[in-house]
Amino acid sequence: MPLTLSLDQVETAAQQTMSASGANKIQASAVARSIRDAEAEGIRGIGLGYVPYYCQHLKVGKINGDAAPIVTQPLPALIRVDAADGFAHPAFEAGEQALINATQQNGIALMGISNAYACGVLGYFTGRLARAGLMSIMTANASSTMAPWGGKTPFFGTNPWSFAAPRVGEPLIIDSSSSATAFVNLANAASANEPIPSTWALDANGQPTTDANEAMAGSIAPAGGHKGAALALMVEVLAAGLTGANWSYRASSLGDDVGGPPRLGQTLIAIRPDGLGQTGHAERLEQMLADMTQEPNTRVPGDKRHSARARADAHGVEVDDALAGQLRSLGALV
């Protein structure tokens, strides 16, 4: 029988596993909050399903469980956070208020995070800023799993990006990657020996494949062909070039236990919606989205997440026996 957990129980279980695997309170608490959010929005792959990866990488030293992020402000509108080889989530939380304050004072501000582990769902971070009344754009690089356009050898990461803006209710959140899918989706399909769509990946010879194991030995495909590859390059420059983090191809793999911390980068740009003198931004946006969705079968990006959150708030989330067993083995009291 599936186990039903409330969101509070999800957060507690996640924190317990992180702590048992060597994360201090700062690290474990921040990651647990992000896992709660992912589960609320129905994103199991970066929610409880990713906990075993996090715990294993804490144990082998890819993540510094004792890290304490260091925040500096080299210029009035620029915030720098050194994650100190820890998770990206506590690094973001350490600099979040400084970013909000700088944005309110300057109209626009940027926060760069370096020496961090991967950050999971970017919409979690941009959504927090949108709920604080700010527009935001975020980019993040990852260890190399995607070949550049025309190539077959992984060079870029999945290199996700996100945009969010305040609405009258829940924020507009657009969350995407430069690749056709996430690495965790390939890994899960390979583990289960399940086929994948032919648009997801390339084999070692650079040819499209439906075999997840061949894909693991090859490359994730860019989203939209050359356009996705160009987007990955832009993300790489913003997330790693600007922050001094490792380029994707020089970062240790997120998919194995070899090498030390990947030392990846994330960059957030926050904007005051009224900074150019426009008022009533949220109301104007709401009207535009209402007009857009008059067309049948159209929807607003992020609304599916918000619906899932409402259901999870009311009814919790189901966890199958296999995942529940994994969580228990990692120290969660579920």
Asked if 47 contacts 25 with a C-beta cutoff of 8 angstroms, the reply is no
Asked if 308 contacts 170 with a C-beta cutoff of 8 angstroms, the reply is no
- pLDDT tier, 191 (very low <50, low <70, confident <90, very high otherwise): confident
Handedness of CA 150, 156, 157, 162 (dihedral sign): negative
Kindly tell me if the per-residue pLDDT of 7 is higher than 80: yes
Please choose, from the candidates 266, 262, 8, 11, the residue with its C-alpha nearest in 3D space to the C-alpha of residue 121: 266
Please choose, from the candidates 163, 193, 173, 165, the residue with its C-alpha nearest in 3D space to the C-alpha of residue 301: 173
Greatest Cα-to-Cα distance within the chain, rounded to the nearest angstrom = 56
Residue 292 has a CB neighbour count (10 Å cut-off) of 11
The CATH code for residues 1-60+303-334 is: 1.10.1530.10
- pLDDT tier, 129 (very low <50, low <70, confident <90, very high otherwise): very high
pLDDT digit string, tens, across residues 252-279: 999 899 999 999 999 999 999 999 998 9
What residues does each domain of the chain span? 1-60+303-334, 68-179+222-292
Kindly tell me if the per-residue pLDDT of 1 is higher than 80: no
The span from the CA of 145 to the CA of 154, in Å, is 5
The pLDDT value recorded for residue 161 is: 98
Over residues 85-105, the mean pLDDT reads 98
Over residues 71-77, the mean pLDDT reads 98
Backbone angles phi, psi at 148, to 5 degrees: -65, 160
- pLDDT tier, 183 (very low <50, low <70, confident <90, very high otherwise): confident
Q: What is the mean pLDDT of the chain?
A: 96
Domains 1-60+303-334 and 68-179+222-292 share a fold: no
Kindly tell me if the per-residue pLDDT of 297 is higher than 90: yes
**Angstrom distances, CA of residue 106 to CA of 111, 127, 138, 286:** 13, 21, 18, 26
Kindly tell me if the per-residue pLDDT of 234 is higher than 90: yes
The CATH code for residues 68-179+222-292 is: 3.30.1370.60
Q: Point out the least confidently predicted range of 9-13, 35-39, 83-87, 184-188.
A: 184-188
- pLDDT tier, 45 (very low <50, low <70, confident <90, very high otherwise): confident
